[in-house]
Structure 1
Amino acid sequence: MTSSSDATRSATPADGQPVEDRGSNRSQRPSSAAFRAFIADGWEETEAPLPDRLPSADTAAAARAAISLELPGERLVLPGGDLRVRSNDTDHPFRAHSAFAHLTGWGAATEPDSVLVLHPEGDGHEGVLYLRPRAGKDTEEFYADSRYGELWVGVRPSLEEVAAATGLRTAHIDTLRDDLAKDAGVGQVQVRLVTGADRAVTALVDEVRAQAGLTSTAGADAELTERLSEIRLVKDEWEVGEIRSAVAATARGFEDVVRSFPRASGHERGERVVEGAFAARAREDGNGMGYETIAAAGNHANTLHWIHNDGEVRPGDLLLLDAGVEVDSLYTADVTRTLPVDGVFTEPQRRVYQAVLDAADAAFAVAARVGEGGARVRFRDVHTAAMEVVAARLAEWGMLPVDAAMSLEPDGQYHRRWMVHGTSHHLGLDVHDCAQARREMYLDAELVPGMVFTIEPGLYLRADDLKVPTELRGIGVRIEDDVLVTEDGVENLSAALPRTPSAIEAWMADLRG
């Protein structure tokens, strides 16, 4: 047994080299003066024109103006995010924080460790984008730095290039600390931070605040996050266009999945075959998947967030596919279809599917009232309409201990055993967009043109649920569409994918030849 004193000694390296730096011990990078002179020489000098302004730049500028009105006179810090280690010295794929993406428009091109700061200026703010630009080929960073070096991670943009693309003033990340500290203090400029996005930036802001005497900041940070979430509730024309593109790519991915069913049916982990077919489309047509794909066959469909995707795909079963492509602007789709593996619904499967479809159609009908003579429809009303249908069907099947009306009462809710999730959530840069918004701005809010959200009722009848009729056990169905509120009602952005049982059967037959 090792004594406590032995453990203490073993935790302190005898050679004085910190443990976190030990990874460099395997490296045999050259460091001679001759090498450094040689590698810095002989490169073609290119002077490419500055990039065009991004199509997202106007939307980002409007978002910055909106948050500036919400929190005037304060310094707002929005980190883009840092790299997170996956295994030793490899990192998870980087994806910018959504608030940063919204206010910069930089999208998938965002460099890790970048930070947007809105500095108070007059009645508004000036946005400055801090980043580490590419280093010259005569620097050690060029060949020796595995995080930033051009030979390791490719050509990084210059400050001038990022400024031209985003329309923001840019500055070297090394100047961030001094700029944050300027005028910071009690009775002067307050500093608010989007927390959880970048550990180093959080530590830096905490240090600046402590030195300035700012100690009670959690509430201020939470309010910033809240407001940044709420200004995304209504999308502009460009944002809707990006979601349309994401939905179109997602539809192509669903087609690829149907074509993959024959191979998936013969594979011991057929759900992985399905997942891979969609993932390939997401990477070919977009930035990747907007969230972890749910490819749930048979009884797995009754696990709401089934992402293991390691089960078989058997003929005669249904497969619930919940997936979305994220495009390069980082806007995502979120669509679910429940498909018969062999292309034809059984009678019990069709019965459950039709109940869910009726619930979805009822939710659509309520949302569509927005365009009817000034009708006021709240976000929560969409869910209520779906639940009325779900409760009615479950009562018809003899699964409720009371009638449907009593189950719908607040102190009843028996029907929710088979659908515990909500019917809708906002959609955009995050699959569950605007999630930090206040209740009165989200659940209790009226639907207005420009909102984009899902309609996704389901029924989940587990194989081990003795309250479910025998012939229905093991069937899980969800139907999810992406919906845009317009001046005249709503538009189903994912309508290109069939929804009715007969249309699905015909679509699958056509795809599989």
Structure 2
Amino acid sequence: MTKAAHDPDFPPRLLEFMRAGWLDQPLDVRPQPAVPHYARRRAELTRAFPGETLVIPTGPAKIRANATLYRFRPGSDFSYLTGDHDPDSVLFLRPGGDAVLYTHQRSSRETDEFFRDRAGELWAGRRRTLGEKTTELGVDTAPLADLDAALARCAPGRTRVLRGLDARVDAAVPADGVRDRALAAAIAELKLVKDEWEIAQLQEAVDATIRGFEDVARALPADRGVSERLVEGVFGLRARHDGNDVGYGSIVCAGAHATILCWKRNDGFTAPGQLLLMDMGVEGHQLYTADLTRTLPVSGVFTPLQREVYDIVHAAQQAGIATVKPGVKFADVHLTCMRALAEGLVELGVLKVSADEAMDPSSMHYWRWTLHGFGHMLGTDVHDCATARPERYRGGELSAGNVLTVEPGLYFQPEDDLVPAELRGIGIRVEDDILVTAEGAVNLSGALPSRADEVESWLAAQREAGPRLP
């Protein structure tokens, strides 16, 4: 334990006094409801690599500045397989299906770690005992102090590691890029199809996100500007109250900021007559996140030109959603959305070629104003399953149980000399979270209006209702 500059010098008699007189009070822990799901996932992953040891770390807490840390968020793949939310833990899956979770034990009262170390229990809160964690997560546990010995026993050529999360683990086991990437891909591909429990978690996150959008609409004045950070903060309150946190940094774009796809500074201000684009999602307690975007007219009503552009984007989104069903190629949903946008750009007079010519792979002139694909998979990451093989994801077909976003947009940069002046600085995106079922698409976020006239009515109703506490 390293002494920091602000740590006092403790006299021996105080150290002795601090170590004595503590009760041992066990926690009343119970198995998490998702324990069977974690066990099934571990079994499926083990079967994919018979005779091999798989090492999946969660990673340590990350330094924000000097001695302060970011709030810890477990590794997505690790939590998907364990349900554990504590830092530094490492999951071992061994041949035959044995699973062991190496994790922190309770702070001993026989040393001064529990009250002097910033990770000690008087600083960070009571830890689970190994037995308590085994009960809660349904997996065998071992002290983190034994991790180095376990890593030393990992046989080269028969061990795969989920890399890039824990430098201690990466250094201990020789890397095998092909084999290690195959492990990451296998986990991602397990996550492609959500079961009923996962869908329920996503629906909870979506519902909380809708409440967050309502909160923002109730705090958004029509006749004066407010900071983008106020919007971010109002939504963040809902995310922390109803879930774990925001699922990603909230994108709050007033006016021309909406033409910047991943605007995160959020240091602008709304203004009457402008649009406000908000791309935000609540991450639930089990780390499943929503991802919704709405573009609102700050004054309450779209101008005719804003409405014309909005309707193009909304029509493209609805066309994409209508395409979604099992067996449809992921790329075909993209092409459906992009064609609708290209046709709209022709009608606006922005595209000077036909939609057919613009859609030709050798041209793709529409991309100047669309800038991104139609969407992505969603789950315990906002861009879930990112390490899946192309043939199983972006180059593959949709399957029942996939959850994905559909989020086309149009963005006319303020300095774009190829568009009429009245379009410059307008950015519009509409995004919903879509479940693929055997029958087709189910919009998990359909309770949040997206059609232009419905958006106007919804915004008016929220403003009339006024602010509320969570």
Compared with structure 1, are the counterparts of its residues 265 and 129 closer, same or farther at alpha carbon in structure 2 (3 Å cutoff)?
Answer: farther
Query: For residue 151 of structure 1, what is the aligned residue in structure 2?
Result: 122
Query: For residue 447 of structure 2, what is the aligned residue in structure 1?
Result: 496
In structure 1, runs of 5+ residues without a counterpart are 1-19, 210-215, 371-375
Structure 1 runs of 4+ with >4 Å offset: none
Q: What's the offset of the Cα at 1:266?
A: 3.9
Query: For residue 303 of structure 2, what is the aligned residue in structure 1?
Result: 346
1:249 aligns to 2:229 (yes or no) = no
SS state of the match for residue 382, structure 1? Answer: helix
Q: Distance in 2 between matches of 1:473 and 1:317?
A: 12
SS state of the match for residue 366, structure 2? Answer: helix
- Report the TM-score when normalising by structure 1: 0.88
Q: Distance in 2 between matches of 1:352 and 1:72?
A: 54
Q: Distance in 2 between matches of 1:57 and 1:404?
A: 51
- 1:382-425 deviation digits (Å, cap 9, x = unpaired): 11110111111111122223111111111111111101111010
Do the aligned partners of 2:322 and 2:441 also contact (CA within 8 Å) in 1?
A: no
Compared with structure 1, are the counterparts of its residues 471 and 191 closer, same or farther at alpha carbon in structure 2 (3 Å cutoff)?
Answer: same
SS state of the match for residue 273, structure 1? Answer: helix
Do the aligned partners of 1:60 and 1:103 also contact (CA within 8 Å) in 2?
A: yes
Query: For residue 217 of structure 1, what is the aligned residue in structure 2?
Result: 176
Match of 1:132 among 97, 101, 104: 104
1:387 aligns to 2:313 (yes or no) = no
SS state of the match for residue 368, structure 2? Answer: helix
Q: What's the offset of the Cα at 1:263?
A: 9.3
Q: Distance in 1 between matches of 2:53 and 2:81?
A: 14
SS state of the match for residue 309, structure 1? Answer: coil
Do the aligned partners of 1:264 and 1:271 also contact (CA within 8 Å) in 2?
A: no
1:86 aligns to 2:60 (yes or no) = no
- 1:278-312 deviation digits (Å, cap 9, x = unpaired): 11110111110100000001000000001110001
Match of 2:167 among 166, 181, 199: 199
Do the aligned partners of 2:223 and 2:272 also contact (CA within 8 Å) in 1?
A: no
Do the aligned partners of 1:294 and 1:321 also contact (CA within 8 Å) in 2?
A: yes
- Say what the alpha-carbon RMSD is for the aligned residues: 1.6
What is the identity, as a one-letter code, of the residue corresponding to 1:252? R
What is the identity, as a one-letter code, of the residue corresponding to 2:62? R
Compared with structure 1, are the counterparts of its residues 409 and 239 closer, same or farther at alpha carbon in structure 2 (3 Å cutoff)?
Answer: same
1:160 aligns to 2:131 (yes or no) = yes
Query: For residue 276 of structure 2, what is the aligned residue in structure 1?
Result: 319
1:357 aligns to 2:314 (yes or no) = yes
Query: For residue 437 of structure 2, what is the aligned residue in structure 1?
Result: 486
Q: Distance in 1 between matches of 2:320 and 2:26?
A: 56
Which residues in structure 2 correspond to 1:374-413 (within 5 Å)? 376-413=327-364
Do the aligned partners of 2:289 and 2:382 also contact (CA within 8 Å) in 1?
A: yes
Do the aligned partners of 2:413 and 2:424 also contact (CA within 8 Å) in 1?
A: yes
What is the identity, as a one-letter code, of the residue corresponding to 1:82? P
Query: For residue 100 of structure 1, what is the aligned residue in structure 2?
Result: 78
Q: Which moved more, 1:462-471 or 1:386-395?
A: 462-471
Query: For residue 21 of structure 2, what is the aligned residue in structure 1?
Result: 42
1:240 aligns to 2:199 (yes or no) = yes
Match of 1:228 among 187, 194, 197: 187
Q: Distance in 1 between matches of 2:439 and 2:212?
A: 30
Q: What's the offset of the Cα at 1:66?
A: 1.6
Compared with structure 1, are the counterparts of its residues 185 and 44 closer, same or farther at alpha carbon in structure 2 (3 Å cutoff)?
Answer: closer
Q: Distance in 1 between matches of 2:57 and 2:189?
A: 18
Q: Distance in 2 between matches of 1:119 and 1:292?
A: 37
Q: What's the offset of the Cα at 1:26?
A: 3.0
Q: Which moved more, 1:64-73 or 1:271-280?
A: 64-73
SS state of the match for residue 460, structure 2? Answer: helix
Do the aligned partners of 1:382 and 1:424 also contact (CA within 8 Å) in 2?
A: no
- 1:44-92 deviation digits (Å, cap 9, x = unpaired): 442333x221122122112111211211111111111101111101111
1:61 aligns to 2:39 (yes or no) = yes
SS state of the match for residue 26, structure 1? Answer: coil
Q: Distance in 1 between matches of 2:129 and 2:313?
A: 52
What is the identity, as a one-letter code, of the residue corresponding to 2:295? T
Q: Distance in 2 between matches of 1:46 and 1:143?
A: 17
- Report the TM-score when normalising by structure 2: 0.95
What is the identity, as a one-letter code, of the residue corresponding to 1:440? E
Aligned residues: 464
Compared with structure 1, are the counterparts of its residues 445 and 31 closer, same or farther at alpha carbon in structure 2 (3 Å cutoff)?
Answer: farther
In structure 2, runs of 5+ residues without a counterpart are 465-470
SS state of the match for residue 429, structure 1? Answer: coil
Query: For residue 255 of structure 2, what is the aligned residue in structure 1?
Result: 298
